[in-house]
Amino acid sequence: QVQLVESGGGLVQAGGSLRLSCAASGSSFTINAMGWYRQAPGKQRDLVAAITRDGSTSYVDSVKGRFTISGDNAKNTVDLQMNSLKPEDTAVYYCYAVEYQITWGQGTQATVSS
């Protein structure tokens, strides 16, 4: 079963940047898509950005123009470059991968101070 390891969270001031990385290992099937969700305290987990194996990307409206998702099929990795961060971006960010099922990472905290 695939395992996901995330890194790159932290504390940054508003207007700053963070880069999240996620690496998948142990997959016996083709990973068709990867991406990131986030969950703020007291809120549901929402999709932030996704990338398919053919490179198609999608973003939630609130991060368009500020976040960029990129992936490497050969390495089974996905990164999320987050620029112009706002306090409302504060959340636990979860990586996911889609094979025949969805697998989640353990989450990494990103905190943006005002």
State which amino acid sits at residue 19: R
Q: Residue 12 has what pLDDT?
A: 98
Three-class secondary structure of residue 56 per DSSP: coil
State which amino acid sits at residue 85: L
Q: Residue 29 has what pLDDT?
A: 85
Nearest to 20 by CA among 40, 3, 39, 5: 5
At which residue do the structure tokens 């025949």 appear? 100
Q: Residue 28 has what pLDDT?
A: 79
In this structure, how many other beta carbons lie within 10 angstroms of the beta carbon of residue 8?
16
Sign, Cα dihedral of 76, 26, 5, 52: positive
Listed as ranges, residues in the chain with pLDDT below 70 are none
